[in-house]
Amino acid sequence: MNRAWMRKKLQSFHELCKTYDREHQFPSFPEPGRPVPDYYAEISANIPTVREIVKRLDPKLVDDITEPIVRQASTQHPEELLTVRARRAAMRALGILDDRDEWEANLAPDAPSLIADDFHPYVWNAASAIWDTGHYRVAVQQAAGSLSAHIAHKAESSLSERKLVQEVFKPDPPSANQMRLHFPGDRTTDTWRSRQQGLHLIAQGAFAGIRNVATHVDEDWTEQVALENLAVLSVVARWTDETKVVHATR
């Protein structure tokens, strides 16, 4: 998440709400010829983005991010300030955001972490297009489709997904009118056979157990689950890049 951007949006929204309330309590008169700022419209325009930000920090606060209440605020009843619920929710979200920076710095375990934009480009570029929407399962599905297209293009094959990798990664030599994607090296060694069999099997597993599941289930995945699945797809993509096209011998 881009926390700096999230913080800027929340702070801007909070200040806009404060200005809206102040103008309704103590109206000011603009200079002749200067347009009257439409703070209500600005708040309404910002609400969809602010709600998405707040949803990722504390979903319970989302319902408080609403348009201003259309009634005159009262100094006797400050709880009736027109944007008080939205302002409080924005402030709480900012507090959570600040705390997360401290949690990450002080509570994170001393362990390596996955850097998503270091995944294979054919995997991450496809997933990143919708990653920030929070639809992680769909992002993985998109990445699997991109990987399938990448393999099919290299193998010059009209097949796709599981049928594609079952065919092109087979360790045995291709028959007439077939081609394979094989690792370079001595095909008579145990090491070569292990690597090629590994690619053949993990690629089938990726499309059977990741792509097909991502396509046919309804519930979404957590970010961690999605990242782990993308890591598998990235391994298949990188191994594919190491292979060479092998045609049938005459």
Residue with tokens 């496809």: 126
The total number of residues shown for the chain amounts to 250
Strand partners, 181: 245
> By three-state DSSP, how is residue 13 classified?
helix
93-130 pLDDT tens trace: 999 988 887 877 777 666 677 889 999 999 999 999 99
Domain parsing of the chain, residue ranges: 3-106, 116-247
Is the pTM above the cut of 0.75? Answer: no
Q: What is the pLDDT of residue 35?
A: 53
Angle, nearest 10°, between helix axes 84-106 and 3-25? 160
Count CB atoms within 10 A of the CB of residue 153.
10
**Amino acid at the residue 25:** Q
214-244 pLDDT tens trace: 999 989 999 999 999 999 999 999 999 999 9
Residue with tokens 């089938």: 204
How far out from the chain centre does Cα 237 lie?
19
Helix, strand counts (H, E) of the chain? 9, 2
> Using CA atoms, how far apart are residues 110 and 93, in angstroms rounded to an integer?
27
